[in-house]
Amino acid sequence: MGSVLLISPGYPGEMPLFTRGLAYAGARVIGVGDQSVHALPQMAREHLADYWQVPSFSDELGIVHEVMRRADHTPIDQVESLWEPTMILAARIREALRLPGMTVGQTIPFRDKEAMKRTLDAAGIRTPYHESTTTAAGVREAAERIGFPLIVKPIAGAGSANTYRVDSIAELEQVMPRLLHVPQVSVEEFVDAEEFTYDTICARGEPLFENMCWYRPRPLIARSLEWISPITLALRTIDVDYLAGGRAMGRAVLRAMGFTDGFTHMEWYRKADGEVVFGEIASRPPGARTVDLMNFTTDADLFQRWAEAVTHGSLSQPVTRAYNAASITKRAEGQGHIRRIDGLSHLLAEYDEWVCAIDLLPVGSPRRDWMQTLLSDGIVFVRHPELERCIEISDRFASDLRLYAA
């Protein structure tokens, strides 16, 4: 087993778990990051063979040159990135060192949502009707051609940040000032549908593990209404007719995008008439602790399974799905500091057997800005073998567990 250069081993929060996974899979892990080694989480430090600090991830060419210089004395066999902003950097390093893996050209369609949709349009995969533009006039013209309702969002980005549903020209004029900091936006058809994910761990172009989550409600709604406790539900059974179209489309998307090794996270829509429509795909794991959620579904360590897939091309043991599992994100009522948490003891008395983890901000902590973080003021994980029971339990935590700030 050779040396793996892992970009940003300490951030975001789940990266130390992937660092450990690579070490457990037998790799010699060299981290590259803009934190000092002392600022890295302990788990990351413990599982790194070496760490190369860089001044800033914004200087991609400077990092490439520094890595090439160091690689003269410390050979690198593989480069991995699991954080969206550093994926082009990882591809540049691979090209400079002539290493296998995704090139810059292969990576761009995963980062540029307009290029992504053009690639899938060419493959005959149903995407929302869409156009990209860099000007306010271009947004207005695209809206006129596509029609309302529509979605306006950045062509590069993660999650639903800076994403808006617009139902009229008047709403469009209200939204455009909020996007002045976004260099290029995608204007696309609003698909009225339920929203799901299709997540994979792949090796040599084949999915070794597949997962499907159901967003309750869809993220665009959850990011618009502060009182909602968003639920992500990882489904135990994915080989059912209701999900068949999305699963087949997910596999077709992987082929069209030429993806071979690593984690993918795709979002897709199922309309009331059964039509499935592509949303977007990223060549990384899902965020908001969804890998933890999948671990609770499978009783597996998917951080390590990913590492095995990218280093060995296989999984050391099969991954089975024993539970439906749900994450419930909580947002406090009020502003300031968390003053009270209500309902938790009652819910635990009723459902303790099915509660996997509770990670709420403690009383006294400052409340987070719910618009700036998917995790808001805390998260609860629950699971149950039966789907209806898992829905019941997660709905109760969404409605009855309440945090108050003042």
Report yes or no on 353 lying in a domain: yes
Instruction: Tell me: do 279 and 217 sit in the same domain.
Output: yes
Of 231, 222, 227, the closest CA to residue 404 belongs to 227
Same domain, 250 and 357: no
Question: Are residues 252 and 117 located together in one domain of the fold?
Answer: yes
Please give the model's pTM, rounded to 2 decimal places: 0.90
Residues 293 and 355 in one domain: no
- Distances from the Cα of 191 to the Cαs of 150, 277, 404, in angstroms? 8, 8, 35
Please report whether residue 356 resides in a domain. Answer: yes
Question: Residues 368-379: what's their mean pLDDT?
Answer: 91
Q: What is the mean pLDDT of residues 365-380?
A: 92
Domain extent, residue 92, equals 3-102
Task: Dig out the tokens for 341 from the structure.
Answer: 């948490």
Rg of the chain over all Cα atoms, to the nearest angstrom: 21
Judge if 262 and 364 occupy the same domain.
no
DSSP string, 109-127: HHH-HHHHHHHHHHTT---
Rounded Cα distance between 321 and 222, Å, is 27
Encoding tokens for residue 307?
A: 């590492």
**Closest to 129 in 3D by CA, of 277, 22, 267:** 277
User: How many distinct structural domains can be found in the chain?
Assistant: 4
DSSP designation for 176 = G
pLDDT-derived band at 164 (thresholds 50, 70, 90) equals confident
**Residue 133 and residue 31 share a domain:** no
Residue 159 has pLDDT above 60, yes or no: no
- Sign, CA torsion 32/113/199/397: positive
For 348, other C-beta atoms within 10 Å of its C-beta total 13
> 241 and 119: one domain?
yes
DSSP code at position 358: E
Summarised one tens digit per residue, pLDDT across range 176-213 is 888 878 888 888 888 899 999 999 999 999 999 999 99
Please state, in angstroms and rounded to a whole number, the distance separating the CA atoms of residues 293 and 390.
Answer: 13
